[in-house]
Structure 1
Amino acid sequence: MDWDIKPSGVQGVVNKTITAAEGFQKAGASLETALPAAQKNAGTVTEGGFRGGEGGGMGPIAGALGELMTFHQNRLARISARTEASLNGAVNATMAYLQGNIEQAENAQREALKEPQIDLPGAGKGKA
């Protein structure tokens, strides 16, 4: 199998992926701020009408927002973990590839610098 990995290409993809992943981090931060605020202000339905969430219990909208927050936190955490593992894998594989190339080059150079073994026909024959 032939491999031709271009480290600069891998670095470019890794950088673009990091930039895209920052969007998920921003989305997660927004959810952590916006949903609890919305949950707090969703209020509840009580006897006699609507009452704000400040002093009342949690109503169905606030409960649903809490479940939404939990669902998206888990999804974003999984996306983040998978992205990080993928990026680390790409970087580690590229480094191993480069290290392998360096080892091959070192081996080739070492072999080229060895004292040549010359085996001339008839050399050493007839000596006892």
Structure 2
Amino acid sequence: MTKWDIDPGGVASILSLVGLAADDMSKDVKGYGEAVTDAAAWAGTISGPYCGSAPAGPVGVAVATFASDTEAKIRFLAARTKKSLDGTVQATTAYVTGDLDMAADAQREAAKAPDPAELRAVAQKDDGQGGG
């Protein structure tokens, strides 16, 4: 069986760093969205003079299509990051709670008076010489 050895303080420290990186990533994704929108709008067209808003050119359409095609992947990345952070917090909390529960159970058991079977077992080990 694998032994778990989790340092909750270390986990909290790493989660803090990952949280900062996730915040940075969120800002980068927002900037990416704005940059793609600008790129699509300013890519130009191969048409002649026009009145009103510029028609979408082939490069602008390609940029917009690329952004649309990658949007789900970017959303997945953000959701996966959040789920991983939340899962790590839950697992570490369960680990700490489990340790505390096991320690409390051990203390409760140690504080109980010996039962008759435990008394017989001690008596047999002593070989009649008393003590423990």
Structure 1-normalised TM-score?
0.79
Residues 50 and 22 (structure 1 numbering): CA distance in 2 closer, same or farther, change over 3 Å? Answer: farther
The answer for the alignment partner of 2:75 in structure 1 is 77
Cα distance in 2 for residues equivalent to 1:73 and 1:30: 13
Q: Answer yes or no: is the 8 Å Cα contact 1:44–1:57 preserved in 2.
A: yes
- Unaligned residue ranges in structure 1 (runs of 5+): 122-128
Alignment-mate amino acid for residue 29 of structure 2: G
* Secondary structure in structure 1 of the residue aligned to 2:46: strand
Q: Give the % identical residues.
A: 32
Q: Answer yes or no: is the 8 Å Cα contact 1:42–1:59 preserved in 2.
A: yes
* Secondary structure in structure 2 of the residue aligned to 1:45: coil
The answer for the alignment partner of 1:33 in structure 2 is 34
Cα distance in 1 for residues equivalent to 2:25 and 2:50: 34
Structure 2-normalised TM-score?
0.77
Q: Judging by fraction of residues, say which structure has more helix.
A: 2
Residues 50 and 69 (structure 1 numbering): CA distance in 2 closer, same or farther, change over 3 Å? Answer: farther
Equivalent in 73, 84, 87 of residue 85 of structure 2: 87
CA RMSD of aligned residues (A): 2.1
Q: Report deviation, 1:38.
A: 2.3
The answer for the alignment partner of 2:44 in structure 1 is 43
Q: Report deviation, 1:23.
A: 2.4
Q: Report deviation, 1:33.
A: 1.6
- Hey, which bits of structure 1, 4+ residues long, moved more than 3 A? 49-52, 118-121
Q: Report deviation, 1:75.
A: 2.4
Cα distance in 2 for residues equivalent to 1:8 and 1:17: 14
Number of residue pairs matched by the alignment? 118
**How far does the alpha carbon of each residue in 1:28-64 deviate from its partner, in whole angstroms, 9 at most, with x for none?**
1112222212222222111xx4769x62321101101
**Greater RCO structure (CA 8 Å; 6+ sep):** 1
Cα distance in 2 for residues equivalent to 1:114 and 1:30: 63
**How far does the alpha carbon of each residue in 1:56-98 deviate from its partner, in whole angstroms, 9 at most, with x for none?**
3211011011022223422221111111111111111111111
Which segment is superposed worse, 30-39 or 107-116?
Answer: 30-39
- Unaligned residue ranges in structure 2 (runs of 5+): 124-132
